[in-house]
Structure formats: structure tokens, C-alpha cells
Amino acid sequence: MVKLNELHDNPGATKPRKRVGRGPGSGTGKMGGRGIKGQKSRSGVAIGGYEGGQMPLYQRLPKRGFNKPNRKKFAVINLGLIQKFIDEKKLDGKAITEDSLVESGLVRRKLDGIRVLAKGDITAKVSIEVTGASAGAVAAVEKAGGKLTVTAAAATE
């Protein structure tokens, strides 16, 4: 039978914390394991990738790729989620615009527009007007008897 007063951790499972700068008997007294003088022995040091004047590693390695400074960032939404919101009566089952998607809470913000992807099934006959859509999403909405219109703000795939 296990008694509450006999419960203990496995040996070596816990370690006491290191008390820095608490006398010579502690092993980390006097200078607290920081060595003698110098930048690193003082408080408020932020050396970060500094290598003592040598060219840092992140500058020695070759640079690759390109990040387009004016690229568009779309809020992405799946057809399955649109159907779920229609079923829960959070979205109007007829005409869906970007503003109605934001109002319903399905999308937090429009960013550069909303892009619809084909993940999930849609059964409702709806008219959706968004900035972008995948070809699969357009086909799925038309198969359900609806219409997915992509505005001129962005090109589709």
C-alpha cells in the first residue's frame, strides 16, 4: 500500500537550482561563473551574432531567393467552411460577398482580398463574389448549381 508521506520523485528527476554569487562554498561565488572582467561579465550584454570582429556566419553565407515587396496577401477560405456557416445560419444562403464573410466572422479581415479554395463540399446553391478562387472551387460551386464570380482585382489560377 502506498502512503502519502512515502511518495517521492525518482532519484535524479529533480535538481536544485544553481544559486549564483552566494559565497565560495557554492562553487559559483564571487564572480558567479562569468569569469574576469570583459563585456560578457557585465549586465545588459546583447552580442547576438557578433564574432569578435570576424565576419559573422550569417554574413558569410550566400543569399538566395527573392521576396516580392508588393506581393498580394489574401485571406484564404475553404468551401467546406462556407457550407458550415450556411448550415448554422451565420451566412445568407443566396448572395455571399467579401463584406458578408467578414461580418459573419468566417474571415477576420480582407487583407488584399479573399480567395476561395476547393477543400470540403458545398451543397447550397449560392452566388459568391470574391477577389480570387481556385479552378476547383469554381467548378465545385457550379456543380452545386451556384455561381462563383471573381472580381477584377486579382487574376485566378
Phi, psi of 97 (to 5 degrees): -115, 175
Q: What is the pLDDT of residue 117?
A: 93
Spatial separation of the C-alpha atoms in residues 84 and 134, rounded to whole Å: 19
pLDDT category of residue 52 using cuts at 50, 70 and 90: confident
Q: What is the mean pLDDT of the chain?
A: 89
Cα torsion angle, 139, 140, 143, 145, sign: negative
Q: What is the pLDDT of residue 90?
A: 86
Q: What is the pLDDT of residue 153?
A: 60
- E-strand spans in 35-94? 75-78
pLDDT category of residue 44 using cuts at 50, 70 and 90: confident
pLDDT category of residue 13 using cuts at 50, 70 and 90: very high
Q: What is the pLDDT of residue 157?
A: 45
Q: What is the pLDDT of residue 124?
A: 85
Q: Find the farthest-apart pair of alpha carbons in the chain and give their distance in angstroms, rounded.
A: 82
Buried-state track 108-124, b at ≥16 Cβ within 10 A, e below 16: eeeeebbbbbbeeebeb
**What is this structure's pTM?**
0.55
Domains, the chain, ordered by start: 75-150 (3.100.10.10)
Cα torsion angle, 60, 65, 67, 68, sign: positive
pLDDT category of residue 146 using cuts at 50, 70 and 90: confident
